Structure 1
Amino acid sequence: MNLPQRIDAFVKLGTFLSQFSVTPFEKKQDILHNDLFFDGFKHQIKLAEEHNGWFTQENIVYALSGWSNLLTDSNINQWLDNYNFKDVSQKNVAIIMAGNIPLVGFHDFISVLLSGHNVVVKQSSNDKQLLPFLAKYLEYVAPEFKGRITFTEEKLSNFDAVIATGSDNTARYFEYYFKGKPAVIRKNRNSVAILTGNETEDDLKNLSEDIFRYYGLGCRNVSKLFVPENYNFDSFFKAMYHWHPIIDKAKYANNYDYNKAVYLMSEFNMLENGFLMLKEDESYASPIATIFYEQYSSLETLNKKLKTDTNKIQCVVSKGLNANDIAFGQTQNPQLWDYADSVDIIAFLLKI
C-alpha cells in the first residue's frame, strides 16, 4: 500500500465524516459503504454522549467537522509534501491516548498509518466509542489496513515505538516504562491569551470560543490570561456572556459551584459572572469554570516569561503580537502540520 493509496483512504474518511459535521446529520449519496456505516456511526456518537457527560453532541460534532475539513486531498498532500517516505521500515507504533476531548488522539493515529507503520492503540476509557468504528470504516475503504490497526485494553506488548499523552505524573511512569524505546511523551500543557486592552468586542467574543469549547478541557483551551496592570474586565465579561447557557450543563455547573465554594472559604479574591470565575494566580492550569489571570508591566517582560515557560504552554493567543501567536477563536482549529508540543510526529515516525 503506497502513500497515495493511504492518503486516498483518509480523504474518503473525511468525506464520510462530512455527514456528521452538522446537525441534524445528513446522509449523502455516493459515499463508499454508507449504507453499512452511516447509521452505525450515529449510534456510536449516541453511545459516546451517554458514556461521557462532557462529550455533548455539540462538541462531538465540532470535532468531527474539524476532521472532515482537514482530511482533504489538498490538505494532506500539503502536510506531507516536505517528507520523504521512500525508505520507511514498517514498525509497530503504540499510541496511548488521552480522553479529555473527542478523538483527541486522532492526529497521532492518522500520522502513524500515513507514515506506513502499524498502529497499536490504547484508548482512554473516557473516549473509546468513536475511533474503533472509524478504523473499521478505513479497513472497508482500504482493505490493506486490515491487520495493521489494533486496539487493546491490556498491557502494551510487541511494539517498536510509542507516542504517549498524559499528565506530568503519568509521564514519569511512561518515561520509566518505555525507556529504551523511541518515544514521544507528552505532559501537561495549557494555553494562554495575551490581552492589551485594545481588543474589540469581536476579538473577545472569538476568545470565548478558545475558553469554553469542550468546557475548557483541552490543552489548546485558554486557561490563563495575561493582562496589563489595572486591566478593566468589564468588556471581557460582556463578550463572554453569550456562553452563559453553559451553566445549564450539570457537570459544568457542579464544577463551578465546587470551585466557587473553595475560593470563598479560602477567602481568595476573584471576579465572577455566574458561570465563569477569574482568579489572579501565577499557575497555568486552572480548574473548570475558572480562568487564571496575571498582570504584566510590559510586553517585553511578558515575552521573556513565556519563553522561559515554553514547556508549559501549548498555544499563545493574541491579536498578532508575536509571529507564532494564534488568532482569537482559532485554538481548536489547528492545521495538520500544527503539532502538539511542537514535536514533529511525522519526522519522529520516519526515523524509528
Structure 2
Amino acid sequence: MNTENQVLGLIKLSAYIEEFLAKDQAEYNDGDIEFELLLKRSEIENPWFTIDNQKFALKEWTGLLTEENINNWIRKYSVSKLSKKVGLILAGNIPLVGFHDVISVVLSGHIPMIKLSSKDKQMIPFLLKKWNEFSDNTVQFELVEKLENFDAVIATGSNNTARYLEYYFKDHLNIIRKNRTSVAVLKGDETPEELALLAEDIFRYFGLGCRNVTRVFIPKDFVIDRLFESFLAFKEIINHHKYANNYDYNRAVYLLNQDQFWDNNFVMLKEDDKLFSPLSVINFSRYSSMEEVKSFITENEENIQCIVAKDELGLDSIAFGEAQHPALDTYADNVDTMKFLEVV
C-alpha cells in the first residue's frame, strides 16, 4: 500500500512542478513564491546552480515521473518487506543529481538517511517534503550530518574521496561511485542540427556532470570550425563569472606553456588524448579507424559514463542531445541501484 501511495505522490509531485514551471511570475501564489525563492537561495549558495539549470533539471523530472514510466521501472524489482536504513552521501555537481538515489531507496521499501552535499542543500529536502505531503505521509526519510546505524550505503565522490569511502564502508553493503565523464564520436557527416545537439551534451550544467561530453573523437579530415559554429548557441556562458574564471585561467596556462589550442572566446578545443578536460576546454583527437576509438573506449570503460554517437558506429551509444536526458532505469556507473537495494 505504501508503494502505491508513494508512486501516486510522485505523480502529483511531477504535476505540481510542471504547473509551477508553466506559470509567469505574475501568476504566482504563495506556494509558487516559496518555490521561486528556494531556487534563488540555491543559486546564491552555489552560483553554478543557475535558475535556468535548476528549472531544466526540474523539467526533466516532470518528464520522468509519469505513472507509466514509474510503474514500468519498478515492476522489474521486488519491494523489501523489512525496511532497512540506507545511507546516501549525495553529490552536488549538478542540480538534483542525488534525487534518483533517494527515490530508488524509498520505492524499494527502505528508509534513506541522506547526507546532502553542501552544494545542493535546498531542493531535495523541499521536494521530499512535498512528496510526503502528496503521499499521505508514507515517505520516510532522515536528513543527517553524519551517517550512523545504517544497513547499507550509496556514496558518490571524487576518485580520491572514493578510496577513503571504500575503506570506511568496507564492512557494509555499498555502492561507491567515482569520477566519470562522457565522450562523443563523430562520423564526419553529422548535420548542423546534430552538432547543435552535441553542444547541449557539452555545455548543459556548464559541463559539470558525469554525462557531459569532455572528449570528442573526429575523423582525420574533419574541419574544427564546424564544432565552433555548433557551439554559438552557448556563447553567453562566458558571462557566468565562475565559468569565465575557469576559461581565463586555462587559457593563460596554455599560452604560458605555448600549447596549441583553438579558441572562440568562450570555449577552447585542445588536441589531447586525455579523457577528462578542464572546465571550459574540450579535448579532441583525430582517428584513422574506428578500431582506434573502440580500443580507447575499452581501455577507459570504467571512467566513461556514456558515449554520444550515431547508431551505425556500433558503440552502444546514445543520440546527440540525449546525454542529459537519462531514463529512470539509467544508472550511474552502470550499477543497477534497485537490484542492489533488493539484497539490502
TM exceeding 0.5:
yes
The alignment of Structure 1 onto Structure 2 pairs a total of residues equal to: 343
Deviations 1:12-37 (A, max 9, x none): 11111113435636969xxxxxx774
Q: What is the alpha-carbon distance in structure 1 between the residues aligned to residue 17 and residue 276 of structure 2?
A: 32
Q: Who is 2:9 aligned against?
A: 9
Q: What is the alpha-carbon distance in structure 2 between the residues aligned to residue 26 and residue 111 of structure 1?
A: 36
C-alpha distance 266-343 of structure 1, shift in aligned 2 (>3 A): same
C-alpha distance 194-323 of structure 1, shift in aligned 2 (>3 A): closer
The amino acid across from 2:333 in the alignment is D
Q: Secondary structure at the match of 1:205?
A: helix
1:21, 1:68 within 8 Å by CA — same for their partners in 2?
Answer: no
1:139 and 2:132 correspond: yes
The counterpart of 1:254, out of the listed 242, 245, 248, is: 245
What is the deviation of 1:322?
Answer: 2.4
What is the deviation of 1:301?
Answer: 2.6
Superposed structure 1 runs of 4+ greater than 4 Å apart: 25-28
The amino acid across from 1:194 in the alignment is V
The counterpart of 1:152, out of the listed 144, 148, 151, is: 144
The percentage of counterpart residues that share the same residue type is 46
C-alpha distance 323-107 of structure 1, shift in aligned 2 (>3 A): same
The counterpart of 1:101, out of the listed 91, 94, 104, is: 94
What is the deviation of 1:275?
Answer: 0.5
Q: What is the alpha-carbon distance in structure 2 between the residues aligned to residue 145 and residue 263 of structure 1?
A: 55
Q: Who is 1:269 aligned against?
A: 260
Cα RMSD, aligned residues only: 1.7
1:96, 1:165 within 8 Å by CA — same for their partners in 2?
Answer: yes
Q: Who is 1:79 aligned against?
A: 73
Q: Secondary structure at the match of 1:269?
A: coil
Q: Who is 2:216 aligned against?
A: 225
2:309, 2:315 within 8 Å by CA — same for their partners in 1?
Answer: no
Alignment of 1:122-201 (within 5 A): 122-145=115-138, 148-153=140-145, 155-201=146-192
TM-score by length of 1: 0.93
Q: Secondary structure at the match of 2:183?
A: strand
The amino acid across from 2:35 in the alignment is F
The amino acid across from 2:54 in the alignment is I
What is the deviation of 1:60?
Answer: 0.5
Deviations 1:83-142 (A, max 9, x none): 222x54210001101111111100001000011100111111111011111111122222
Q: What is the alpha-carbon distance in structure 2 between the residues aligned to residue 92 and residue 20 of structure 1?
A: 33
TM-score by length of 2: 0.95
The amino acid across from 2:133 in the alignment is Y
1:236 and 2:227 correspond: yes
My pick for the range that moved more, 336-345 or 319-328, is: 319-328
The amino acid across from 1:149 in the alignment is F
Deviations 1:139-172 (A, max 9, x none): 22224436x211112x210111011001000000
Deviations 1:245-290 (A, max 9, x none): 1111111111111110011111111011111101112221111110
Deviations 1:285-335 (A, max 9, x none): 111110011222211231122122110100100022226201001100111
The counterpart of 1:39, out of the listed 8, 30, 33, is: 33
Q: What is the alpha-carbon distance in structure 1 between the residues aligned to residue 81 and residue 154 of structure 2?
A: 18
1:341 and 2:333 correspond: yes
My pick for the range that moved more, 317-326 or 117-126, is: 317-326
The amino acid across from 1:38 in the alignment is D
The amino acid across from 2:219 in the alignment is P
My pick for the range that moved more, 224-233 or 251-260, is: 224-233
Q: What is the alpha-carbon distance in structure 2 between the residues aligned to residue 59 and residue 340 of structure 1?
A: 20
**Unaligned segments of structure 1, at least 5 residues:** 29-34
What is the deviation of 1:186?
Answer: 0.4
Q: What is the alpha-carbon distance in structure 1 between the residues aligned to residue 228 and residue 69 of structure 2?
A: 37
**Unaligned segments of structure 2, at least 5 residues:** none
The amino acid across from 1:141 in the alignment is F
